[in-house]
């Protein structure tokens, strides 16, 4: 787990965090300190010129826009811009051909608390530069996965629990939960080969210790296990329609199922809810399904299938961004499914 040490001044810390969270550059509050050359130097050394950024593939177009809008701001307040122009020139030289993947940063901390913090947990994920690639949507972080992670930190429901996630994608939810809550164990699962390979990479590179690293993804369902702080994490292959009773002999009992943004097509509902039912039949207490309200038909079909399968469900209170900087619109719904 990367611990990111914040800059030396409170004013600049908020700009630095906005940068890492890729806040809309037009909405950044540039603070007075950036007007001085000393402030600009500090800001650059914690953002575009920092080791953290130069050693990763952080979105170049965002970095450029950040510096471009900073120069416009400095022009408006009649401050010196030479340092920023110089950094912009250096950035253009470093810009490489767009690649299939880039690095996305997720600082985890209580928003509004930045003034009293000196460091934050920083999750760094390799993600696709496109929303759909290799025929899957699983190579990016989706909004509901951030909402689910935020909800898990805000409630105490994950304390000492073993959680299994269905359709983990690149792994954000579980990495936030394992690093920032007192959960006992987190099992990431997915079925797609490319997704599993990126998921394993991301989990491994955010882990503090590797316990098992299985090189052959076809060799078995368990691909990786390690420790994030004190939480044991595992990456497993799990395809919902292929879920068999045998898996319950292999894995320890699961307290909770988590799943985010996997409901986008009503044909998925049946194999997905059948998998949840198998877990509930084998001792799991509840499944928490998070989804962004995009398609009302798909959501209606999900609820109808739940009723038809005689599974109980209840809507949980709407979660707002508190520890992660995600977009609250469209609303993310969380439903709890039990037997
Ligand atoms: C839109 S992505 C969401 C990923 C992640 N939960 C997030 O919110 O960022 C949907 C994920 O569900 C996975 N998925 C779809 N059908 C699946 C199945 N039958 N078994 C397991 N995973 C599946 C996909 O591979 C993909 O990673």
DSSP 84-98: HHHHHHHHHHH----
- pLDDT one-digit tens code per residue, 174-194: 999 999 999 999 999 999 999
57-77 pLDDT, tens digit each? 888 889 999 999 999 999 999
**Beta pairing, strands 256-260 & 312-315:** unpaired
So what's the pLDDT on residue 217? 55
For 171, which DSSP code? -
CA distance 234 to 243: 17
pLDDT of residue 269: 87
Q: List residues near ligand 1 (CB under 6 A).
A: 136-138, 141-142, 144-145, 167-169, 172, 190-192, 195, 238-240, 260-262, 271
Query: Which segment, 7-11, 123-127, 251-255, 267-271, is predicted with the most confidence on average?
Result: 123-127
Residue nearest to atom 26 of ligand 1 (CA): 138
CA 136 to centroid of ligand 1, rounded, Å? 8
Taking 60 as the threshold, does the pLDDT of residue 218 lie above it?
no
- Is residue 247 within 8 A of residue 237, CB to CB? The reply is no
Task: Give me the mean pLDDT over the 254-280 stretch.
Answer: 91
Average pLDDT, the chain: 91
Residue 160 near residue 166, CB atoms below 8 Å: no
**What is the end-to-end Cα distance of the chain in Å, rounded?**
36
Q: How confident is the model at residue 132 (pLDDT cuts 50, 70, 90)?
A: confident
Q: How far is the CA of 164 from the centre of ligand 1 (A)?
A: 13
Domain boundaries, the chain: 2-123, 130-338
Angle at 91 between CA 85 and CA 95, to 5 degrees: 150
130-338: CATH, from 3.40.50.150, 3.50.30.50, 3.40.50.20, 3.30.70.1230: 3.40.50.150
Closest CA to 41 of 14, 64, 9, 68: 9
Contact, 152 vs 158, CB < 8 A?
Answer: yes
**For a pocket test of ligand 1, which of 123, 148, 167, 332 has the largest count of ligand atoms closer than 8 A to its C-beta?**
167
74 C-alpha to ligand 1 centroid (Å): 44
């Amino acid at each position: 787990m990367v611990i990111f040490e914040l800059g030396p001044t409170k004013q600049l810390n908020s700009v630095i965090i906005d940068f890492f969270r890729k806040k809309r550059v037009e909405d950044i509050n540039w603070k007075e300190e950036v007007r001085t050359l000393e402030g600009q130097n500090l800001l650059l050394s914690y953002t575009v010129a920092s080791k953290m950024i130069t050693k990763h593939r952080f979105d170049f177009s965002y970095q450029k826009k950040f510096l471009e809008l900073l120069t416009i701001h400095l022009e408006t307040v009649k401050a010196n811009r030479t340092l920023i122009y110089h950094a912009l020139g250096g950035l253009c030289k470093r810009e490489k051909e767009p690649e299939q993947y880039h690095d996305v940063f997720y600082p985890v901390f209580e928003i509004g608390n930045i003034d009293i913090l000196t460091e934050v947990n920083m999750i760094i994920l390799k993600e696709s530069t496109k929303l759909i690639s290799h025929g899957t949507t699983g190579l990016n972080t989706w909004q509901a996965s951030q909402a689910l992670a935020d909800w898990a930190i805000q409630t105490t429901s994950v304390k000492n629990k073993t959680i299994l996630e269905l359709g983990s994608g690149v792994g954000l939810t579980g990495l936030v939960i394992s690093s920032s809550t007192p959960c006992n164990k987190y099992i990431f699962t997915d079925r797609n080969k490319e997704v599993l390979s990126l998921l394993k990479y991301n989990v491994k590179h955010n882990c503090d210790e590797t316990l098992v690293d299985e090189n052959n993804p076809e060799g078995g369902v368990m691909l990786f296990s390690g420790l994030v702080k004190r939480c044991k994490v595992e990456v497993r292959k799990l395809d919902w329609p292929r879920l068999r009773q045998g898996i319950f002999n292999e894995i320890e009992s699961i307290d909770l199922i988590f799943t985010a943004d996997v409901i986008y097509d009503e044909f998925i509902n049946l194999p997905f809810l059948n998998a949840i039912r198998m877990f509930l039949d084998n001792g799991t207490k509840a499944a928490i399904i998070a989804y962004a309200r995009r398609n009302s038909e798909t959501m209606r079909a999900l609820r109808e299938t739940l009723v038809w399968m005689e599974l109980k469900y209840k809507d949980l209170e709407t979660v707002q961004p508190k520890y992660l900087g995600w977009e609250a619109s469209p609303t993310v719904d969380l439903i709890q499914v039990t037997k």
